[in-house]
Amino acid sequence: MPVSKFLAVDFGAESGRAIVGILKNKTITLEEIHRFQNRQVRVLGHLRWDLLYLFEELKKSISLAVQKGHGDIESIGIDTWGVDFGLIAKNGEILGFPFSYRDSRTNGMMEKVFSKISREEIYSRTGIQFMQINSLYQFCCSAAANKELLGVCDKLLFMPDLFNFFLTGEAFSEYSIASTSQMLNAKRKRWDREIFAKLRLPLRIMAPIVQPGEIIGKLLPEISHEAGLGSVDVVAVGCHDTASAVAAVPAKGNDWAYLSSGTWSLIGIETEAPIINGASLKNNFTNEGGVFGTIRFLRNVMGLWLLQEARMSWMRSGEEYKYDELVQKASEVPEFKSIVDPDDSSFLNPPDMPEAIRTFCSKNGRPVPEGKGEFVRCIFESLALKYKALVKKLNLMRGKEIKQLHIVGGGSQNEMLNQFTADAIAVPVFAGPVEATAIGNILVQAIARGKVESLEKGRDLVARSFPLKMYEPKNPSKWDRIYNTYSKEQT
């Protein structure tokens, strides 16, 4: 296999990274080019993303790739977190900075939407999990607060679509990111006209849908010149970061589930068609678009956000800990002292996460964590129990049991949580690769360029290229007893 190189730029809600994937001798190797922080900025009472800073880091990533000897990259792919979007005028100007999904403006908007179109109808059309952060409710907030702005808007573009537009001048919405919005018809894979009509939202500003693996366009000349790069294609990858991460899961057959573990935990299975029925609605599972005709049937869980925010709170108090130090503290305290529901709304964006956990425990008659180790262990055990609940739901809805779980992303490095997860769900857990999102991004580019034959072959390539660590279940009956105590909460 001749050498081929692809640049993946992965924007996370906390940080971003640019990675060159090198295909050679039937393996993939990765070279990290650039890492940068991402941040939400509070402006006039609202949380927004610093879009221009992020675009500057994107351009810097391309330039650094060239400077580090990768001027021969064949294409570029962008992926980001879901649901957030920006507005573009006809002349291409940005109409304000995009809101962050953690902004409180969507409080109460779901109920207002349900007064115009029922929850059941929205789900039957979109198959998407109900969360107040969804683009649908953000869009309704924009329509209610600033009709004049929408009147001059030409295109609504989700975060990766914005970056693709800035790179190429072409305005499209990639399918996997569009599917997170709760505005896309899951079966027809196009914007749902009925939802737009009933909510009086302007369908005209929604961009045409492109599928993963399609070429969006070439780098604009000024960006190519600035980076010292030739005319390079920008490819629509799995532009939702989870779509790219799941593309890189090194699994075979159909008896596996995945857990994309990071700020959010996304746990589910891969299917060929949406699963939209009474059970999936009741259990609030989502049908998000995957790559190459797949559907990601999953649930979003609050994830390691709880730990990240607790650590930040302690840092603000002058107590700075590395993550491995916090894990060590958790290993030194008794098990199962405090259990919380990670998805409780009080944990979405509290001013102080440890205080939010204390309050939850007090309100629910639970022992309150007292030291750093107890807080961390509370978070990990609560997440593992949540995963157990959702795997049980998946088993019932698909009619057969999951036999292995693949954990990918940054959270796959958390050995304590990985072992807790294996113990709780009572099946083997395979952890890795860590950079699954970038790898999946690179795979889609490689398939688009004809360098890899298919998604199945790409996953074989990942399995050959990156080591996995297996965690066997230990004493699952103990976790069953704890789960039975909190099973109503962990659903």
Catalytic (active-site) positions? 241
Both structure tokens of 170? 């072409």
DSSP letter assigned to residue 205: G
Torsion sign (Cα): 141, 147, 148, 150: positive
Angle at 192 between CA 186 and CA 195, to 5 degrees: 120
- Say how many residues make up the chain: 491
Q: String of b and e for 47-78 (b: at least 16 CB within 10 Å)? A: bbbbbeebeebbebbbbbbbeeebeebbbbbb
Phi-psi sector, 399: left (phi>0), alpha (psi -120 to 50), beta = left
List of residues 6+ apart from 385 with CB closer than 8 A: 339, 424, 479, 482, 483, 486, 490
Identity (one letter) of the amino acid at 365? G
The total of other beta-carbon atoms located within 10 Å of residue 450's CB is 8
Name the phi and psi angles at 100, rounded to 5.
-85, 145
Angle at 264 between CA 403 and CA 339, to 5 degrees: 75
- Cα–Cα dist 421/269, whole Å: 16
Residue 46 near residue 103 (C-beta atoms within 8 A): yes
Angstrom distances, CA of residue 131 to CA of 119, 237, 265, 300, 347: 12, 25, 14, 9, 13
- Cα–Cα dist 306/380, whole Å: 9
Identity (one letter) of the amino acid at 49? W
- Cα–Cα dist 377/31, whole Å: 34
Please report, in angstroms and rounded to a whole number, the separation of the first and last CA atoms in the chain. Answer: 47
Residue 390 near residue 411 (C-beta atoms within 8 A): no
List of residues 6+ apart from 157 with CB closer than 8 A: 85, 86, 87, 88, 165, 171, 173, 207
Q: Is the peptide bond before 433 cis (omega within 30 degrees of 0)?
A: yes
- Cα–Cα dist 483/428, whole Å: 18
